[in-house]
Amino acid sequence: MPLPLPPPLALNRLMLRDFRSWAALTLPLRSRIIVFAGENGAGKTNLLEAISLLGPGRGLRGARAAEIGRRMGDAPPAPWAAAGRFEGPWGGFDIGTGTPEGGPAERRVFRLDGAPLRSQAELAERVAAVWLTPQMDRLFQDGAGDRRRFLDRLVWALEPHHAREVAAYENAMAQRNRLLLQGRREGRSDPAWLSGLEDAMARHGVAAAAARRGLVARLNATLAGGVTGGFPAASLALGCAVSAALDTSPALAVEEELRAGWAASRGRDAAAGATLAGPHRADLLFTHAPKGLPAALCSTGEQKALLVAVVLAHAALIATARGFAPLLLLDEVAAHLDALRREALFAALAALPVQAFLTGTDAAVFRPLGGIAEVFRTTPGELVPDADFPVPDAL
């Protein structure tokens, strides 16, 4: 099967200061596959979170900046910093993020080659990261909001400006909800202001829905192409009336339909205290393609395999679309994979042009990656190269 061209993106050095359990760390990275192995509580996931924060967004834990700094006794969290040295299509570059010295702990700043970044969209042009965590094993049982956020992260890695559309839509919707509640309490409303907010919601909402729709179609095509190796192909669908309307109508007509619908439903939405219809209600639906079975009815191992398949296909898609693959962060991913599926995962990672970071409690599980992966034994506050694994060639 044809594979995307190797992307010119690699994290070559990770530096941390007062980040979660890590007081200070400077870690040179030489391989395309990195493994952190060690007991629970050793700080493995903290390392993945730090890497995820070198891209746009709030990282794999979704934490606020004030929650990340290292805690020492009863003292408030320390100001923290994470930085990475990358090689990419633009040559070498440095990305740093953290709380400003002397500034509010709630604030987070970004720097590119030492200069402040104006927006996270600039960061998204350089770096993308996708991850799987144990918490995501509940993706098929949890609400539509969790699956929608998962989808939006995938879209963001392909379309860096997607987050801006989603944020603009949600901001306008929040203002509309407040205005409707105020009007209900006071017995009057401001139709002109509401119309302006609904117009913004329609423009940004249709743009977001179109981007989600486009990614689902491209992911399905990539999954059907067999890039997932030994993993069962997932079939994805988007449960969204706005996306469905775009199948048969131009975007401007869908925007007008949304504006008319929201105007007609102001009374109902005011009584509910929320906007009851729109692209913010979208859901991402998974099906085990070979079995034709909804993912929610599959076994835990099958669900994990479907998630892995989607993430691998997404990495391949981004590599071909953007010229570099996203960083792939897999936290305890082998926990629900049998030996054959683990072997399939390792083979896929070796074949795909991604830089992957994996964690696990048992280094022996990663034995098939000997000579390919760089493996570190992780203990609280310390990383040591695992002598049982030969050091691979430089990245």
Per-residue pLDDT of the chain (395 residues; tens, 9 = 90+): 444 444 468 999 999 999 999 999 999 998 999 999 999 999 999 999 999 999 888 899 989 998 999 988 777 788 899 999 999 887 899 999 999 877 787 889 999 999 998 878 788 888 888 899 998 888 988 889 999 999 998 998 888 889 899 999 999 999 999 999 999 988 888 899 999 999 999 999 999 999 999 999 999 999 988 777 788 889 999 999 999 999 999 999 999 999 999 999 999 999 999 999 999 999 999 999 999 999 999 988 889 889 999 999 998 898 888 888 889 999 999 877 888 889 999 998 988 888 999 999 999 999 999 888 999 999 998 999 998 888 765 54
Distance CA 242, CA 244 (A): 5
The answer to whether 278 is annotated as binding is no
Question: Where would I find the H helices in the chain?
Answer: 44-52, 120-126, 144-158, 162-186, 191-224, 241-245, 251-264, 266-272, 300-322, 339-351
What was the pLDDT predicted at 2? Answer: 45
The answer to whether 171 is annotated as binding is no
Query: Under DSSP, is residue 61 helix (H, G, I), strand (E, B) or coil?
Result: coil
What was the pLDDT predicted at 71? Answer: 85
Name the strand (E) or helix (H) holding 15: strand 10-19
Do 1 and 225 contact (CB within 8 A), yes or no?
yes
Q: Smallest Cα–Cα separation from 280: which of 99, 121, 151, 87?
A: 151
The answer to whether 272 is annotated as binding is no
Distance CA 214, CA 206 (A): 12
The answer to whether 302 is annotated as binding is no
Distance CA 387, CA 7 (A): 29
Q: At 69, list the tokens.
A: 């700094």
The answer to whether 41 is annotated as binding is yes
What was the pLDDT predicted at 392? Answer: 66
Give the up-direction half-sphere exposure of residue 362: CA atoms within 13 A in the CB hemisphere: 7
The answer to whether 38 is annotated as binding is yes
What was the pLDDT predicted at 8? Answer: 61
What was the pLDDT predicted at 23? Answer: 94
What was the pLDDT predicted at 120? Answer: 80
pTM for this model (two decimals): 0.88
What residues contact residue 144 under an 8 Å CB cut-off, 6+ apart?
Answer: 239, 281, 282, 283, 284
The answer to whether 44 is annotated as binding is yes
What residues contact residue 253 under an 8 Å CB cut-off, 6+ apart?
Answer: none
